[in-house]
A and B are shown apart, each in its own frame.
Chain A
């Protein structure tokens, strides 16, 4: 369980499993091991049932028609009408919070990160569905039970839907100019080599750009990657002991400072959309982002789409991928009058015919949580989308090494880790002071 001591030769799955031992010990599923004889499962839909589904509004225009088509077929098959409501992805949480507090609202919510754990005891357990899906589709990736399973309820309370993944976006020709191989398979694989690349890019007048403002997606993903790559962790697995003030964190911050020198001025104020624009304008050569830049480029800047590619984040001294991606899950409020219909709907959405069509239609924006879906056609259609395929496989939960829950939600919402990196990078604070400030804030949040 001492994941700080994990050695390089250990494989991704082992270490992630070690980190999630708490969740796994109560889980008892051993997903993926008895993959073969998956029995069909259906939930007896209540008579006269109808469903309201609240979800994030689409990242890509092909998403919504497919999702609604799936819902329509569900209605045809079961006779259960489904009404789908959309909100901007950051606005799902306040609506769900009001619904949880009031005890009425949508039956199913498809939200992000900790949401189900903020109102865990208001949700319908979905262990049967989660285990069934895991059995049938080759098992969940290791991060999934950490997000979907609630130790407090001793049950799965949410069904992982997938991760809008984040990868390194880079300009092929400039990487080549800088003397590196632009093939994603040979892109720098270690943090050291990556830093050399960034410096070479900057030296040629093509700075990098990584958000250090309150960018929910882009800011959080890269700083957590960096922190974990050097073995730093906000909190110990007991979810109480704050472990941020450590030599590992200091190394991560020193590394980030070096990286910051290769960045374009202004990143300290960047929110999520900034790097998209800077990249498309050719102001930066390298950034971290979802596949959205690539799609904007395909539509309006074909020459940039031609000249860009994606790669995994490099691996740091801990010797295994330490990525963070946005993570979406669906959960059912227990005030629903039709829990079976709701489960049946989620089952329907996650079965291969529907889920495959949906994920394929999202063109690589969202990657799958179930191992069998690694074979979906979307991951073969465009080689440039390939690095997004493994987002869920390579990620750790944002609460690492603790558990998702109100404390982790709040640490994320308050950008404690992002601020620590921004403080250290911009020189507002020394590395030591930045760590101490973060430690202080985390202590207050976890009240450890």
Chain B
């Protein structure tokens, strides 16, 4: 997305800049020339970001990928074993379950977060009393450190002390404690709910910022042309916030697939591995078990899954265009 520099974009920007007269050599001129040259300026401007990513991400990542092809353990380099780790994982029931868990967890959570986040953004994108408070309050779940909010959910889902159960009991809806984290499917649902709670503000604030950029005049003009709320939404709001929506969804998908802390604190992947995600499994194997190569392979497996998720999210949203 974002590369519209195909045909149909020839007007680029070089137009107004006249090539500086040859022979002028002052530093300022050189700087000016640099600033006006797309090629050089472009590279200068991306260099800091690239340098950071190269040193602190690309390089360790390359090491990580290399590890996944070795049988190395913590503190011992190991030797190259080709696809052995991947072959091993392919036959591993726990790993296969983890793949399914991840798809389910990410799929359901991202859709819910998108829908709820969008609804919330639309709700607060207007003038009302207490707007400031509401907009600040809705960010709270996103702000509080996950390690601590996970503890809260851990307690909210307690088998005996759950406040949810207490409320439902008081309302006469259930007559015995709910086994939130002891039953595989309930545990999955409970973790998805916690993830949605944390992620909704991320969507809401991103989409709200997007909504803010939609010029009011467009709505007024459309209203004058007799467009109802739905067509206004469909033909003005939706296309205009599309770029933001895509970015937010894609990144949320990535964060959800890579989720670690919430699961680790609330269930540690249990019951019976029903809530293991790639992150928790990789951590368990690489760090706790010391099988660095195999853990790296689990993590590397994330890549194709992420690419698939991202492609789906991207296609779904873009189809509307």
Partners in one complex: yes
Across the interface, do B291 and A440 meet the contact criterion of CB distance under 8 Å?
A: no
Tell me whether B3 is interfacial, beta carbon within 8 Å. no
Contacts A213-B270, A269-B270; A122 near B75 (Cβ below 8 A): yes
Across the interface, do B94 and A266 meet the contact criterion of CB distance under 8 Å?
A: no
Tell me whether A413 is interfacial, beta carbon within 8 Å. yes
Tell me which residues across on chain A come within 8 A of B182, comparing CB atoms: 212-213, 265-270, 426
The size of the chain A interface, using a CB distance under 8 A, is: 42
Across the interface, do A269 and B289 meet the contact criterion of CB distance under 8 Å?
A: no
Tell me whether B245 is interfacial, beta carbon within 8 Å. no
Bound CA span A419–B183, Å: 13
Tell me whether A93 is interfacial, beta carbon within 8 Å. yes
Across the interface, do A422 and B271 meet the contact criterion of CB distance under 8 Å?
A: yes
Tell me which residues across on chain B come within 8 A of A406, comparing CB atoms: 73, 289-291
Contacts A269-B181, A271-B268, A419-B272; A444 near B88 (Cβ below 8 A): yes
Partner of A413, one of B74, B180, B288: B288
Tell me whether B269 is interfacial, beta carbon within 8 Å. yes
Tell me which residues across on chain B come within 8 A of A422, comparing CB atoms: 270-272
Contacts A269-B180, A406-B73; A441 near B271 (Cβ below 8 A): no
Bound CA span A118–B289, Å: 8
Across the interface, do A265 and B177 meet the contact criterion of CB distance under 8 Å?
A: yes
User: Per DSSP, are chain B's interface residues mostly helix, strand or loop, or mixed?
Assistant: loop
Q: A-B pairs with CB below 8 Å: how many?
A: 123
Tell me whether A48 is interfacial, beta carbon within 8 Å. no
Bound CA span A216–B269, Å: 12
The size of the chain B interface, using a CB distance under 8 A, is: 38
Tell me whether A10 is interfacial, beta carbon within 8 Å. no
Bound CA span A413–B295, Å: 13
A197-252 residues at the B interface, CB under 8 angstroms: 212-214, 216
Across the interface, do B288 and A278 meet the contact criterion of CB distance under 8 Å?
A: no
Bound CA span A122–B287, Å: 16
The residue on B at minimum CB distance from A441 is B94
Q: Nearest chain A CB to B163's CB is how many angstroms away?
A: 13
Bound CA span A55–B270, Å: 27
Q: Nearest chain A CB to B308's CB is how many angstroms away?
A: 26
Q: Which of the segments A14-22, A94-102, A153-161, A175-183 contacts the partner chain?
A: A94-102
Interface centre among B88, B157, B187, B291 (most CB of A within 10 A): B291
Q: Nearest chain A CB to B82's CB is how many angstroms away?
A: 16
Bound CA span A415–B92, Å: 15
Listed A/B pairs (27) with beta-carbon separation below 8 Å: A94-B283, A118-B290, A122-B75, A213-B271, A266-B160, A266-B177, A268-B182, A269-B157, A269-B181, A269-B183, A269-B267, A269-B270, A269-B271, A270-B182, A271-B154, A281-B161, A409-B288, A410-B284, A410-B290, A410-B291, A413-B288, A413-B289, A415-B270, A419-B270, A423-B272, A441-B94, A445-B289
